[in-house]
Amino acid sequence: MVAFCSFSVLTTWPRVWIDEGKDIELARGFLNAGKLDIEMAPGQFSGVASLLQSTGYPVTVPLAGVFKLFGYGFEQARAYMLLWALIAIATVFFVSRKFLGNFNAIFSVLLIVTFASFYDSGRAVVGEIPGFVFLMAGLYFALYKDSYNKSGLFIGLSIVSKPSVFTWILPALVLVFAIEKKDFIIKTLKMSWGIILALFVWAILVLESLFSLSAWSGILNFYKNPYEGSSLISNFVTNLANAPYSTTLIYFGILFVVVIIARFLVEEKRLASLYNFIIIYGVFAFLYYLRSPGWLRYILIAELLILFILPHAVSLIVPKLKSYFVRFQFDNRYLVAVCLLALVVIQTVHLFTSADIFFSDSETKARDYVNKEFPTESVTVLNSVIMATMFDRQNRFMTLDDTVMREIEVRAGFKNIDIFSTSIMPEVVILSARAKKLPSEQEKVTLENKYQFVTKIGSYSIYKLTRQLPS
């Protein structure tokens, strides 16, 4: 189903978005120059690589390898993420079967593959789904195999894949070990080696110097509040007030309560630890969502974990409810299957009718038009990393808007290149109407005086140079 629902709309549904464009550019930078940084002009990088790693090297470096083998392209990047989605499904089935048995494993997979957000984030080049794969592997080794060194490595890779989402794994696991009491310190120390190794590789790849206090200070200051122009307290209050009106939060809130109830019915130690982790991590994820500008993607992993454990939770609760409310003799497994199939049907209908997954083919159409009409000309994309990432040519230039850089201009002294300098003066300019940062007055004057409007495709206006600047 994952492949069937993906191939025909792989590059258009969901539409390419800011983080995805940035991540593809990081992979391109690593491919071309061995730098996890954005190449704004040939050989010229942003210089603030450490503040661009919202998606980490476990995702971007392998993508660079895909580009090396199959050529650079947006289609290749999306196909690479489809592979991650398929790996995630296989991992869910394997881990669920080990912990919960074949029956529950099948329904864990069905619930996840009919979940709309799995496709929204699963097709895009972001770190959530790869990080989820690493997380599932880490939980398997920690809670099923008691192999804490191996678990630590996978947990570390998960954290690096998407720090904003997966960092909460650490306090959640520490609390799980604390609840278990036995060998709490030993388990934590064994896991720490793998985590440190994964983070050390990150530092080697991203930082110019491991011992630069200013670099580490900049990273810490940035992540204290990465949300430009917003107060964490105001975000918290607003999101909490709006929570009762979110169908997503209501739906998963109900399912979360089901999981909590089921936890009190669990007797087996390993399963109890698994439930404890999912519940604790879910609380951390929700709190982090509350401090954000209201981005539901911050709770995606908690949602996937709930769907993963839900079949087992229902299988524990249904027999109890039956004993209280049902006088007829129905097979417990039959009743559980009916309940779970109802949820699968509801999610499937939502996926194909009202899921909030935005479609757009403007980027690929604009790219195809420019490549056909201006196959060799130099191209500049103003303030849209999304559009810039579509072009595989040496003479491509770009400026970054504050949607990507947020407050990096202020915090790290980042400066955009002077795209209309006499040394560059691109032959084709693409301007996005969706960019939050508008062209400067000087850029507008240059576009008016030196360029001719050619066409508009979607939100993208295309201009062609008509008169060269004097040398």
**What pLDDT does 222 receive?**
61
pTM equals: 0.90
For 70, what's the count of Cα atoms within 13 Å in the CB-facing half-sphere? 13
pLDDT-based confidence at residue 82 (cuts at 50, 70, 90): very high
**What pLDDT does 413 receive?**
58
Q: What percent of the chain has pLDDT above 90? A: 46
Q: What is the 3-state secondary structure (H, E, C) of the chain?
A: CCCCCCHHHCCCCCCCCHHHHHHHHHHHHHHHHCCCCCEEECCEECCCHHHCCCCCHHHHHHHHHHHHHHCCCHHHHHHHHHHHHHHHHHHHHHHHHHHHCHHHHHHHHHHHHCCHHHHHHHCCCCCHHHHHHHHHHHHHHHHHCCCHHHHHHHHHHHHHHCHHHHCCHHHHHHHHHHHHCCCHHHHHHHHHHHHHHHHHHHHHHHCCCCCCHHHHHHHHHHHHCCCCCCCHHHHHHHHHHHHHHCHHHHHHHHHHHHHHHHHCCCCCHHHHHHHHHHHHHHHHHHHHHHHCCCCHHHHHHHHHHHHHHHHHHHHHHHHHHHHHHCCCCCCHHHHHHHHHHHHHHHHHHHHHHCCCCCCCCHHHHHHHHHHHHCCCCCEEEECCHHHHCCCCCCCEEECCCHHHHCCHHHHHCCCCCCCCCCCCCCCEEEEECCCCCCCCHHHHHHHHHHEEEEEEECCEEEEEECCCCCC
**What pLDDT does 363 receive?**
87
pLDDT digits (tens, 9 = 90+) for 61-70: 999 999 999 9
Average pLDDT score over residue span 79-94: 95
pLDDT digits (tens, 9 = 90+) for 89-113: 999 999 999 999 999 999 999 999 9
pLDDT digits (tens, 9 = 90+) for 360-380: 788 889 999 999 999 989 899
Please list, in sequence order, all residues whose beta carbon lies within 8 angstroms of the beta carbon of residue 9, skipping any fewer than 6 positions away.
Answer: 359
Evaluate if residue 329 carries a pLDDT over 70: no
